[in-house]
Every structure is written in structure tokens, then in C-alpha cells.
Structure 1
């Protein structure tokens, strides 16, 4: 459940301390909107994220900044917490209007470069093979066209980098999991943490593996480690990209960690016999029944199931059967 206010009930806000927020709609998404933050500086505002690349979103961002006493043309830079289109989509247009630089963690910058060279045919072939290896029936993951890849950033960030923001101390904290290059931004002079999608007040971010059967990464372990990293900052105010601002990042990080640990326990209990990734996903608990999930949401659920299976495998609790296609996992004592 979520207590977020619908987009219609949102408005631009001055949050005090030189920080403001602008809700930017995500057309057709149950998330409703992205909260874009503007941090004041002598050289112009810096944006944390930019919103979805859509005319309604552009209008909302432009009008919201104007209502708060500034203008898109004055923006000095955009720090993208991660490459997803509801965060990075409008960054390129902001750069066109203002000459602002775009910054993103180097891991997500690498993915953006890959995406921009990945044609529609190659994308469909990638999806089809990924689904086949997961044991899925014949279906597509997408409802509608694939979003245009975001703009390539001008600056690539690493963990601990200070952002170019005169008069303030804004530090990038690498928090992989939701994406390989997700960053939170810690405004050290105000003990405020811009959490992107890493820590949200009521929902949990998607943690998936693509392609599903990779065995060389463990994004769930990365995510849990990243939760501990932001929790170590103490009781900071969280300014997330969705839902609402809340007071205690560390407490919410602990809740999210417990949620995933419980999910791992329940998934391990299902693996008394070999299951494909798709079969495991269909048996797991989601916010609605498997039958009611759209093809796109089933695909995302399979990605999340894959990440949890990989974490259990890395912990030595389950194993993947050798030379089996589609891939199957089973408990180590079965």
C-alpha cells in the first residue's frame, strides 16, 4: 500500500533551505509522477532528476520551476539518480534549453551508451531469448513502444564525488541495485538525502536481472549493501523521487531490507523441486495475482524473481541445474 498523493493533488513546493520540488507526471504509469528537486546555487539551480520525456511532463517541469521563481533556461546542471526514463528522460531537453551539464554514475552512463546503439530488432531478439531461457510461454514484455534512450551524460560520477554546486556540499553515494549506477545525493550541509528510487517511503524499488539467467552479478546483494550504506548516515531526511518526503532514511532502509530477507525465505521454501525462473515468479507473492499482471509486469516480476534466485544461489542455499535449458533452480538439499 502507498499513501502518496495523486498527481492531481500535487503542486510545486518550496521545501526551505534552498530546495524546491516539482511534481512531473508520468503519463500512463501507476506511479503518477516523479518528484524533481531544484537546489539553489549562485550559478543557477541544479536539478535532481528531470522527469519523463513527454510534452505534458515538460510543461509541468517548466511551469513548476517558473512558479517557484526560476526558469528552465537558468538550470546549471542535472544530476540523474539513474538512467530510467522517468528520471533521465527530460535531461537532454533541459540541456538544450539551458546549456546545463548532465551527470550520471559511470555504470549507468555505460548502459545508456549501450542502449543508444541497440536497435529495435536487436531489442526484440534479446527479449525473446531471455524469455525462452526463463521458461516463459510465447509473449512480449512490452505494452507499447520502447521509450527513447536518455541523453548521454556530460559528466560521469563515482562514489563519493562532490557535485559542482557552489556554496553547498552535495555528495554522490553509489547505491547499486535498482540499476547498476543508481546514486543517492547527500546534501551534507543540511543532512538531506535525495534517494531517487533507492529508498521510497511505502513501496520498494524493482530489483531485477536482465537477462534473467546471468550468474556473474548479484544485484539484490548490491541493493542490500547499499541500504546499509545510506542507513549509516543516520536519521537523515529522505527526499525520494516518488510518493512523499519522509523523516528517517535509516529506519525505512531497515524495513526494506527485512522485506527482501522475508521474500528470500519464502522463495527458498518453494524450491523443493526444480523450478524455472518463470515458474518461480508465478508462485511468488506480488501486489496482485499472477493472472492479473500484464505481460510487461510479468516480465518485471520474472526479473525480480531472478534477482532473488541469484541471491539465494550466491548464499549457497539453492543451485542451478547444469546443462538444462530452460534454466532451473532447486534447493541444495533436494
Structure 2
């Protein structure tokens, strides 16, 4: 099934691998692309909504001087100024969404809103050294050899993640966000992050989907050292929940705007069902493999051998998320040794 592309200029820019234009989406609603330096996603689509008191932003962008310039220039393009921003609604805590919120607050006095669960994750109370050791131990636990685990951690900008701006307002599921002339509803959609939230504008049937629903790729659903619970199960339930909302257009944080949300939800669900079947078969064919070893046996968008250390870390984290769901369904079991090895449930 195919979606309906509604952001034609954004789609054309994506194909051409250039930054899309600042674009008027509807009366009082603008899309402002903010670049992410050295990242294959290229940019975050920040949405600016007019209210009678000024502007409300959905997401803020990566904390970098180039990104800040693009955001402030974009706001000037629509005839406003950064000081007009009254609120920043952040879909989730990842630095390409939350990062610039602190600068926006300093420049304008705006309040920053984030779901309660993501506020806790964004500021975990660890030193950079403690966080690095925690990540390294997790990588080795799931099968990455010690030398590669250390090299992988050395590539991470741990300090940036620990310096995320703290929100002023903590959001909960179903919370109504009301400003003069503007109303939005918070929809808690965990999976990509514990507190990921979409924002729904019912009078226009618009969904600001963050990273939860994108038109071309599926968001990363992963288990890292600080991940609790079963994020893939949460994500699949969140997809089902969105089926109950009447949505004419989806405004994602990356790529381009689209319609036919129902088709995209079905495609994303099918992708994970197929990945679960692939992983289940791999674990049964070669019992006792680590998540690292199983990751190398799965079909990715490009050969495993071409992945750099960061891409392999991401891939393994996704594999663990699928293993956890299969474990919770009683289909797979993990052994007690270190590194963790996975077996069909009936063999242990």
C-alpha cells in the first residue's frame, strides 16, 4: 500500500538531497526545515503555529550554530521573530528534537513541554564517565567484543546527551494544550522513546507525528542500557491506537508530509511482523547466539559488512528490542551466562 504525498516540495527536496523550503502548510501553520549536521536524516521539520500571543513550535532542532541560524532565519521568513515564540512542544527527548529548545527559551522566554517519561530519560543523573561505562558494559553484555565496544563508545558524544535542556511543563497522555486561538491534544505514543508524544489538532484533523510515524522509514525501536520494559510492544500498541483518530494529513519531523495514515500504519506493523519472523527463525536455526551475532544474520537495507561501528550499535539495539518482545511472548529465552545468548523457549 502507498501513502498519499501531500508535501510535494518536501518530497522533491528529499529526492534531490537538498534542504526543502520554508513552507506555509495552512493558515497560521508553517514548516521550517532545520538541518542536522552530518546526519543521513538531513533535517528536522519544525512546525510553527500561530496563536494570538505569538508562535508555538513543535520540536526545535539540533543544538548547533548552523541549525540555530536556520531556525531563526526560517521564523523571519514567515514574518516573525524568535522572540515571538511562546511555547515549544517537544515530541521526544532526542537531541535533534529537544536540543535547540534551551536556546529558544533563552531568546524568547518560551516554556518547553515534554512528556514526563522522556524528561526523566533526558537527564538521568549520571556523569559522562558513568554513562560511557554503562554503555560499554551493555554492548559487551550483548556480544560486542571488548575492543569494538570501547571504540564504539569513544565515538559517542555522551556529554551532549547529558546536557539536554530541562522542560518547564511535563505532559501526560490526553493532556489538552490550550493557548489563545490554538488547541492541541497530546497523544502518548511510546516506542521510539518512552515518552514520545504526537500532537493532534482535531479541528484540522492534523497529526504532528514526530518520529513515531514517518512516510518512508520506520523509526528506530531499540533497547539500550537505560531502556526499560518492552519498547517494541509499546510501539505496536501505539500504532494501533492512532487508528482511532481521524487524520487527513500527517506532519512528521523528517522527510515529508503525507496522507493515508491508515496505510502507513499497516505497512509499519507488517514490517515488524516480518522482522520478528526472521529473527525467530534465525534464533531457532542457530540456538545460543548473542544479539550481536544474530544482527549479522539479518537482512538490512545494506550489507552488514558495510556498517560502521555506530550503525552496528543501532542495528544491535533494534535486534534486542525484537528479542525482548519474543521473550515476553514466550517464544525465546535468554541464557544466564555473559554475554547473553538466545534460545528457543523449549530448549532451556
Q: 1:60 to 1:6 in 2, by over 3 A?
A: farther
Give the aligned partner of residue 143 of structure 2: 135
Give the aligned partner of residue 53 of structure 2: 43
1:247 maps to 2:259 = yes
Give the aligned partner of residue 250 of structure 2: 238
Runs of 4 or more consecutive aligned structure 1 residues displaced over 4 Å after TM superposition: none
Unaligned runs of 5+ in 1: none
TM-score scaled to structure 1, two decimals?
0.94
Judging by fraction of residues, say which structure has more helix.
Answer: 2
Give the aligned partner of residue 293 of structure 1: 307
C-alpha distance in 2 between matches for 1:174 and 1:6? 34
Unaligned runs of 5+ in 2: 1-9
CA shift for structure 1 position 274? 1.5
Instruction: State which drifts further: 160-169 or 4-13.
Output: 4-13
Higher RCO (CA 8 Å, separation ≥ 6 residues)? 2
**Superposition CA RMSD, Å:** 1.6
C-alpha distance in 1 between matches for 2:195 and 2:156? 26
Give the aligned partner of residue 266 of structure 1: 278
How do 1:1-334 and structure 2 match up within 5 A?
4-5=14-15, 8-114=18-124, 117-137=125-145, 138-139=147-148, 140-142=151-153, 143=155, 145-146=157-158, 147-148=160-161, 149-211=163-225, 217-272=229-284, 273-321=287-335, 323-334=336-347
For the residue of structure 1 that corresponds to 2:186, the secondary structure is strand
Q: 1:105 to 1:298 in 2, by over 3 A?
A: same
- Contact residue 233 and residue 250 of structure 1 kept, 8 A: no
Give the aligned partner of residue 5 of structure 2: none
CA shift for structure 1 position 141? 2.7
C-alpha distance in 2 between matches for 1:38 and 1:283? 43
C-alpha distance in 2 between matches for 1:279 and 1:298? 11
CA shift for structure 1 position 300? 0.8
CA shift for structure 1 position 234? 3.6
CA shift for structure 1 position 5? 4.3
